[in-house]
Amino acid sequence: MQFDYAYKGSTSVASTADRTRMSFAPDLKREPTFFTGELGRKLEFREAISALHDVVVSDLRFKPKDKTAYKEWAARQEEIDWQLVASQRAEVAGRVRELQSELRELYDRSSRRMGPYNKARAEYFKYIYEKERDVWFVLDPVITVHPDEVFFECFSQDEASYGRLGASYEVFDRVGEFACGTTNIDYSAALYDEFQKIRTYKATRFEIDPTGFDVRTAGEADFKEVKIDLPDTWVRGFLQVSSAMSLPTVSFDLHPMDVHNLCFVLRRRREQKGPRSMRYHLTPGEPVRVVFEPWELEVNCPRSIYAGADADVIRVWGRRRIHILERLIPLARKFTVHLLGTGLPSFYIADLGEMSFTLGLSGWTANDWSRAGNFDLMAPRAEVDEMTKRRVFDALRQEWSASPDKLASRLGLSRATVLGALGAYTQAGRAIFDLNKRVYRARELSREPLPLESLRFANPREEAASEFLAQGAVAVAARDVDADGQLKLLGSVKHKEKTFHPSLTVDRDQRMVRAECTCNWHQQHKLFQGPCEHILALRMEDARRLV
């Protein structure tokens, strides 16, 4: 999906001994949105915006180590050893050793001579990397100005973490003129370094530069056109996480040191094998307990009492992403955790006083098909006609933010209708649910509306699977958990006159490790292009029955 931006100049942070001026260059192609103010809560802002940066650059996907150099060396080693084995007679072995030492010396000399060259080359590549580092960022953060707060949103490179920093106007001392709306801001790696120089004793001016809009017709060379081709999976991931926010959640508060403790466990240990989940044990009236698999290590949170009504055990994966919160620990008053359920997105909201930082995590770090099936997040919540939807959204646009109840009473609609309409807009990236203040906010992710229909499903098989589920054509025949904790499912899916018999195995990390189906598509492709619609439907059906 192509995103085009135009910036006037670049975002710049000018920092001297006594003042800092942050001037963000907004996207000029969008409706004018600007804001200026003097920062009041400087350290909090510094740490929060740094955490947001951590989200932008976060990439915890598995990267295989580059072993070519080692393999070359090993091959050479092997060759030499075989020569030794082959040489039966002592004198030959002696000669081989002699040659080897000569060879070793030659290698040494070669590496000595090539050393400066290799070093210079490495430095050059490093320079190129540093110079072009901005290219590695996927999408510039989105900034939204609302009458009550300014907020930044971003999504990580690995399509797994979402960050939102909301700053209410109490954070700013002298708020100047502003225009509400949403825009993208030009963002670069050097900015992070400048953020680090924010201090309480430096007057810090924060502005989303309005001057760009005055000269937008001039079209000088100073304008920077940016075209970004975002993968569909990225956009889908973003929308899934943000629409997950509007779903009912299990929530509780954690003491800042509890988060410190969670990070502490993860910093001290590295898991060699699965399962790699973190289990929240929630019992009403009792401290929250967090258990780390596979060590079954328990962290008790005596100062965080679970206030919910029902006991629950929820597993979440991709736990190393919570390191993003580390910098917020000294400043946070508390962390509010929202969990949707096992294997579903989770949210951590740091309460920084007048600011709040929301970290949204998708179900897994790797959003590949072996854990697929999150398309339910994008399913329509309620049937609402187009006119009503429009009305609800226009009402929201008027006030920029509103709670569903307020909207319902103002428009004279039922709460369910309003929620359905807002859910649809959330899924389309045009609205967002603010977990912190529990209101819906109007926020257009992109200049042009996103093609929701093409984004909902990753492929036609997901769509077909959702139809099977809707028709009730899926039946789970057997469900069996073995000694290793692996779940085996057997079932049938009716399609017209035919009945297919899919079966699958899910390991303790909820990863689909084996799957079979009697359909033609599976016979042809096995799992090389992902599971077929029947396997997907069977898995979803099982998940639904558990809930």
Q: Which residues of this chain interact with another protein, rule CB under 8 A?
A: 15-18, 43, 46-47, 50, 130, 193, 196-197, 199-201, 255-258, 260-261, 263-265, 267-268, 299, 302-303, 326-327, 329-331
Closest to another protein by CB, 258 vs 434, is 258
8 Å CB contact between 535 and 506 = no
Min CB(266)–another protein separation in Å: 9
Min CB(38)–another protein separation in Å: 18
Closest to another protein by CB, 179 vs 190, is 190
Closest to another protein by CB, 88 vs 217, is 88
Q: How many CB atoms lie within 10 A of CB 330?
A: 11
Min CB(79)–another protein separation in Å: 19
Paired residues of 336 in beta bridges? 253, 349
* Residue linked to tokens 């569903």: 404
Min CB(504)–another protein separation in Å: 39
Closest to another protein by CB, 258 vs 444, is 258
Closest to another protein by CB, 20 vs 370, is 20
Q: Give the separation between CA 445 and CA 432, rounded to whole angstroms.
A: 9
Q: How many CB atoms lie within 10 A of CB 401?
A: 21
Q: Is the dihedral of CA 453, 458, 464, 465 positive or negative?
A: negative
Rounded (5°) CA angle 254-258-263 = 125
Amino acid present at 204: T
Closest to another protein by CB, 264 vs 295, is 264
| 170 secondary structure, DSSP code | G
Min CB(98)–another protein separation in Å: 21
Largest CA distance in the chain: 101
Closest to another protein by CB, 126 vs 526, is 126
Tell me which residue of 514, 513, 517 sits closest to 532, measured CA to CA: 517
HSE-CB at 378 with a 13 A cutoff on CA atoms is 24
Tell me which residue of 153, 203, 213, 202 sits closest to 177, measured CA to CA: 213
Min CB(262)–another protein separation in Å: 9
Min CB(202)–another protein separation in Å: 9
Min CB(36)–another protein separation in Å: 22
Min CB(96)–another protein separation in Å: 20
| CA distance readout (Å), 378 to 174, 250, 275, 385 | 41, 20, 28, 17
* Residue linked to tokens 């907020």: 151
| Token duo for residue 245 | 């926010």
8 Å CB contact between 246 and 380 = no
Closest to another protein by CB, 16 vs 88, is 16
Min CB(293)–another protein separation in Å: 18
Min CB(499)–another protein separation in Å: 54
Q: Which residues of 154-168 are buried (b: 16+ CB within 10 A; e: fewer)?
A: bbbbbbbbbbbbbbb
| 34 secondary structure, DSSP code | B
Closest to another protein by CB, 195 vs 234, is 195
Rounded (5°) CA angle 442-444-449 = 130
**Got the DSSP string for 283-330?**
-TTSEEEEEETTTTEEEEEEEEE---SS-EEEEE--GGGGGGGGGGTT
Q: Which residues of 131-140 are buried (b: 16+ CB within 10 A; e: fewer)?
A: eeeeeebbbb
Give the H/E segment covering residue 106. helix 90-131
Min CB(43)–another protein separation in Å: 6
Min CB(196)–another protein separation in Å: 5
Name the region of 59 (left: φ>0; alpha: ψ -120 to 50; beta: rest). beta
Closest to another protein by CB, 63 vs 268, is 268
Min CB(47)–another protein separation in Å: 8
Closest to another protein by CB, 95 vs 525, is 95
Pairing of strands 512-516, 503-506: antiparallel
Q: Length of the chain in residues, anyone?
A: 547
Closest to another protein by CB, 265 vs 452, is 265
| Token duo for residue 70 | 């080692």
* Residue linked to tokens 């206030």: 307
HSE-CB at 37 with a 13 A cutoff on CA atoms is 21
Closest to another protein by CB, 331 vs 465, is 331
Closest to another protein by CB, 44 vs 462, is 44
Give the SS3 label for residue 462.
Answer: helix
